[in-house]
Amino acid sequence: MVPGSLVLLGGSPGIGKSTLTNMVLGHLQQSGHRTLYVSGEESAEQVRLRAERLGDSSPAHEVNPALQVPVLAETDLEAILDTLAAEAPQACVIDSVQTLRAAELSGAPGSVGQVREAAARIMALAKAQGIAVILVGHVTKDGALAGPRVLEHLVDCVLQFEGERERPYRELRALKNRFGSTNEAGLFEMRQRGLVEVLDASARFVAEATRAPGSVVLAAMEGSRPLLVEVQALVAPSELEQPRRVVSGIDRNRLALVLAILGRHGGVGTGGSDVFVNVVGGVRVDEPGCDLAVALAVASASRGVALSGTPRACFGELGLTGELRWVGHPERRLAEAAKHGCGAVIAPLDSGRDACEVATLRQALGAALPAPARRPAQAAA
Ligand SMILES: Nc1ncnc2c1ncn2[C@@H]1O[C@H](COP(=O)(O)OP(=O)(O)OP(=O)(O)O)[C@@H](O)[C@H]1O
Ligand SMILES: [Mg+2]
């Protein structure tokens, strides 16, 4: 956190934004920094209750760090600015920017005018006093930052906190970062006592992989870090004129592209079927290296046979002519796969000596799927 900077943290309702920011301030306070948590949504009592739950893990003789953070339950912008100026914290969280109200403006809290005014005035104060500020923002149902979208240009960093509400995994990623790469991501697990960093996500995802038809392990890159995730597909006869294409964790257009390439260059037609693809654990993979995993999962699901040598790992981008293209950091992906017991990773040419290198989608299918049983007549022919 850079003094004088503004970070916008977005996330859907209930995903854990307050939990995350509370814990961040708790740790900063514990390491000797002055902090302030401004809550416009919850009463000081509510914030204290959460802090008590978050601190349950600290040993009895230690003070609970989350409880040491000063809390201000306030929505009036003027009052908040006065407190900030008087207390001069080094780090401050405003939860959330949509609840702030500048008395001199007529719009309701959360309106574009109010949000912009609040952010601009907080920024001026933050820059003048060197306060590192995190603004919490709400996100609409389709994932865009609501209201504070107008803030994206103003702030130094935009962070997105995401995950499936039903699953414990949460991911923190940067959409904009003036101080570093936007490729880094943090993976956390939501527990009773708050968020815990998932240190070895690959081991978990590989252990959980089903190894059934339609399942494949993708050796992905999360920023500069390799991560093994399970990609699952289901292909079922459709009753709809326009069969369903449902994705979670990958881009929908990417699936359409992979299905077209599979049909044209892999001999796996899915025209009359519903296709579902899911990256297990609520993780999102946003890189071209996922193409091959999607293709293999769909092919395996479509034929109803598990990939040979499961858990089978792969990575690679598919070209429109059915070729498999090189993607970044093959050595790190291969090392991660080897570390977790996934041998013979199917990968593009030039990936590494230990990989099962193939040049085309057709070769990848040949390497990963047992040849379909031939009917006797064909065999005779
Ligand atoms: N006792 C509990 N045990 C485990 N998890 C809990 C408990 N209480 C709350 N949670 C988790 O914390 C989540 C709420 O966290 P938090 O209040 O930080 O979310 P938020 O993103 O700030 O929500 P909002 O949009 O309402 O401000 C719940 O959805 C739930 O998953
Ligand atoms: Mg909250």
The set of residues, in sequence order, having a beta carbon less than 8 Å from that of 370 and lying 6+ positions away, is 305, 308
Give the CA-trace dihedral at 280, 286, 288, 293, to 10 degrees.
0
Chain-centre distance for alpha carbon 126: 29
Residues 321 and 238 sit within 8 Å (Cβ to Cβ): no
Q: Report yes or no: 53 and 194 within 8 Å, Cβ to Cβ.
A: yes
Task: Name the burial class of residue 212, with classes exposed (0-12), middle (13-18) and buried (19+) by CB atoms within 10 angstroms of its CB.
Answer: middle
Q: Which residues surround ligand 2, an ion (CB under 5 A)?
A: 18
For ligand 2, the distance from its centroid to the CA atom of residue 96, given in whole angstroms, is 7
Instruction: Compute CA distances 359 → 100, 316, 346, 356, 364, whole Å.
Output: 56, 10, 10, 10, 8
Q: Which of 8, 9, 15 to mutate to test the pocket of ligand 1 (most atoms within 8 A of CB)?
A: 15
Q: Identify the H or E element spanning 314.
A: strand 313-314
Which atom of ligand 1 lies closest to the CA of 138? 25
Q: How big is the chain by its Cα radius of gyration, in Å?
A: 25
Q: State the pLDDT at residue 76.
A: 96
| Nearest-angstrom CA–CA distance, 337 and 343 | 7
DSSP SS3 for 165: coil
State the pLDDT at residue 381.
Answer: 43
Sequence-ordered list of residues with C-beta below 8 angstroms from that of 310, at least 6 positions apart, any chain: 209, 211, 215
Q: Which ligand 1 atom sits closest to the C-alpha of 20?
A: 18
Q: Which residue ranges of the chain lie beneath pLDDT 70? A: 56-62, 140-149, 372-381
Q: How far apart are CA 379 and CA 118, in angstroms?
A: 75
Distance 166 CA to ligand 1 centre (A): 12
CA 14 to ligand 1 center in whole angstroms: 5
Q: How far is the CA of 251 from the centre of ligand 2 (A)?
A: 28
Q: Cα(185) to centroid of ligand 2, in Å? A: 21
Closest atom, ligand 1, to C-alpha of 42: 27
pLDDT, position 380: 44
Q: Compute the distance between CA of residue 241 and CA of residue 234 in angstroms, rounded to an integer.
A: 18
Residues 10 and 160: their CA atoms lie apart, in Å, by 5
The total number of residues shown for the chain amounts to 381
What share of the chain in percent tops pLDDT 90?
66
Q: Is the CB of 93 under 6 A from ligand 1?
A: no
* Cα–Cα dist 314/303, whole Å: 18
E strand or H helix that includes residue 69: none
- SS3 at position 78: helix
16 Cα–ligand 1 center, Å: 5
> Dihedral angle at the C-alpha atoms of 51, 56, 57, 63, nearest 10 degrees?
70
**Nearest ligand 1 atom, CA 95:** 27
Q: Would the CB of 192 count as within 6 Å of ligand 1?
A: yes
Instruction: Return the residue whose CA atom lies nearest to atom 1 of ligand 1.
Output: 192
